[in-house]
Structure 1
Amino acid sequence: MDTGTAATVKISELREIPPQFLREVIAIPPQAIKCCLADLPPNTGMWTPDAVLWLRDTVMNCPEFSMKVVKQNGSKGIAHVYLFAPENFPDVDRSVNRQIKKADLWKHQKDVFLSVTPSGTSSTKAMGDAVSAPRLTSGKLEKSFSDSAREPSSAVSTVDMPPPLLLSKTGELMDVYVSVACHPGHFIVQPWKELHNLEALMEEMILYYSRAEEKPVNIEKNKLYAAKIENQWYRVIIKGILRNGFLSVYELDYGKHEFVSIEKVQPLIDTFRKLPFQAITAQLAGVKSQQWSEEASIVFRNLVEKKPLVAQIQAVSESANSWDRKIVTFLVDTSHPDTDIWIHDFVSQSLVEFSKDD
C-alpha cells in the first residue's frame, strides 16, 4: 500500500498490528499513488515489452522525478501525469511521455507466443497452449555455476558478425542469469558460463573507447555499433533514429532498449565482434499464454529478475538475426536447500489467487 509493489510472503512472516498501534497506522494514508502516462498514442492497447522495459529502466535509473497531474480518475484511483527528470520540468516536450511517444517502441509487434512441437522446434501463434512440465524422477536439480518471435528487424549482413550463441539441447538443463524480466511472456536470459567472458569484454571496451579518438559516425538503422550508456560501453544495434539527436538502441548482450545521444556512439571494431551476443529472448513454458496483468508481471519479476536460475529449454524459434531468436523455457530456482521452485508453478498459483480477487 505504501510502495505499490505486489509481493509473495510466507504466512509465517505475517504479523497482526497490535490494537494499540492500529489507530496511528490507519491515520497515515497509503503512500503509493497509481499513475499512468498522459498523452500517449491512442489505441495503444497492451504495451510492447520494448516500451515497458524502456520506461522501467528510465524511471528506475533516475533517483527522483517531477510530476504534473493533468487528470484524475476517481473511480479507478489513477492519476494521469506527465513525468519529468528534474532538469526538464516543466517542459512538456522534454517529458518522459513525449520521449517514449517519439520513439519507435510502439511499432514493434506485441508478444508472439510459441507452441512446442514434438521435434523441439516451435510454431508461432497469437495465443499458445501451456507446455507440460517434465516430471522430476529423483532428487534435486544440481547447479554447475562453478564450472522473438518478436517482429524481426531487417536482416543484417553476416559479415563480421559474431557466431550465434550455442544453446543447450531441448530438455537439457542450462544455468542462466535473468538480466531483464517484463512478464512471463517476455524476459531475457544470459548463459551463466559466459558471464565472465562478457565482463572481460566490457572492460576491454571501456579501455579501448576511453583512449580512442571520437570521430563522427555515419549512423544507419539495423547496424551494429558501440554505445556509451552510464559510463559503460555496450554492443548495440540501432533500432530508430530520432529527430532530436538521439538514437533508440537495443543492447545485444543485456536485452535492454535505451535512448542515447548520437555523440555517444562509435563503430564496433572487429575485436569486439567475436563473442556471441549474450541476450536470449525467452518465454516461460508451462503457463497459459495471455496478456499479463500488472500483478502477475510484478510477481514474476520479483521471482526471477537479477537472479541465477536453471533453464530447461522446450523450444527454439530461430531467426536470421541471433537477437531475434526466441526460446520457450522452464525456469527453476535451486537456491533453496530443501526444495526446487519451478517458476511456472508459482506463476500459475498466483494467477488463480488474482482471479479470485477479481
Structure 2
Amino acid sequence: MTSLQEAYRATLYSPLQIDDVQPGNIYASKHKDGKWYRTSVIKVINPGSIAVFYCDFGYYNHLTLQQLIPLQPQFLELPYQAINAKLSGIKPKQSKWTMDDCKFFQKLVLRKSLVSILVSIETDELYKCDKVLNLKLIDTSTETDVHINEVLIRKGIAVLDDTPVTLSNGNN
C-alpha cells in the first residue's frame, strides 16, 4: 500500500478514455479518503458510472472514468487480498440472511482458526466477470472440529441447499 501511494502521489488526472476501460482489468483509483487503491472493473455503464470491486478490501462501488488510472505492472503481481466466497451446501432458512443471522455467524468465526475446503468456483450472479468461492468452513480452534454449516442448520437459521454444485476451475 505504501508503494502504491508513493507511485500515484503526483497523479492529477486520468489519461483513460471510456473504450480503454475493460471489465476484469485492474486499475488504480483514488478513494474519498485520499488514498489510492487497486480496483477491478466489474461493468462499464457510462463514463460517469463504472462498477468496481476494491480487490484488496472486498467492497463494491461506482466510480467515474476520471477516478480510474492505469495500474503500473508491479502492482498486478499481488493477488487479490479480498475474495468473494459463500458457504457451500446451505442457504438461509428465510429468503435471505437476517442481521441476527449475520451476527451469529460472525460470533462463530471471529478470531477462530478456520480451515476452508474449496467445493467449487462459480461466476458471480450479479457481476459476471467476478468469481465466487463455495467453501465449507471448519473451526479447528477446539479439540473437536466444528463444521460451521452444521451449526447454522442446528440453530435453525440455515437449511440444506439442494442446488447441484457445478465443479469449475473458475475459467468459465
For residues 213-228 of structure 1, what are the structure 2 equivalents within 5 Å?
A: 213-219=12-18, 220-222=21-23, 223-228=25-30
Q: CA deviation at 1:313?
A: 0.8
For residues 115-264 of structure 1, what are the structure 2 equivalents within 5 Å?
A: 202-219=1-18, 220-222=21-23, 223-229=25-31, 230-242=33-45, 245-264=48-67
Unaligned runs of 5+ in 2: 159-172
* Superposed CA RMSD: 3.4
If the length of structure 1 is used for normalisation, what is the TM-score? 0.35
Given that 1:279 and 1:323 are in contact with CA atoms closer than 8 Å, whether structure 2 keeps it comes out as no
Query: Could you say which structure has the higher strand fraction?
Result: 2
Larger Rg: 1
Q: CA deviation at 1:217?
A: 1.6
Given that 1:314 and 1:329 are in contact with CA atoms closer than 8 Å, whether structure 2 keeps it comes out as yes
Residues 352, 262 of structure 1: CA spacing in aligned structure 2 closer, same or farther, 3 A cutoff? closer
> Aligned pairs, how many?
147
If the length of structure 2 is used for normalisation, what is the TM-score? 0.64
CA distance in structure 1 between the aligned counterparts of 2:121 and 2:105, rounded to whole angstroms: 23
For residues 67-106 of structure 1, what are the structure 2 equivalents within 5 Å?
A: none
Residues 297, 352 of structure 1: CA spacing in aligned structure 2 closer, same or farther, 3 A cutoff? closer
Given that 2:136 and 2:148 are in contact with CA atoms closer than 8 Å, whether structure 1 keeps it comes out as no
Amino-acid identity (%): 22
Q: CA deviation at 1:250?
A: 1.0
Aligned amino acid, residue 344 of structure 1: N
Q: CA deviation at 1:298?
A: 3.9
Given that 1:228 and 1:264 are in contact with CA atoms closer than 8 Å, whether structure 2 keeps it comes out as yes
Aligned amino acid, residue 284 of structure 1: L
Instruction: Name the residue aligned to 2:162.
Output: none
Given that 2:17 and 2:65 are in contact with CA atoms closer than 8 Å, whether structure 1 keeps it comes out as no
Instruction: Name the residue aligned to 1:288.
Output: 90
Given that 1:247 and 1:261 are in contact with CA atoms closer than 8 Å, whether structure 2 keeps it comes out as yes
Query: Could you say which structure has the higher helix fraction?
Result: 1
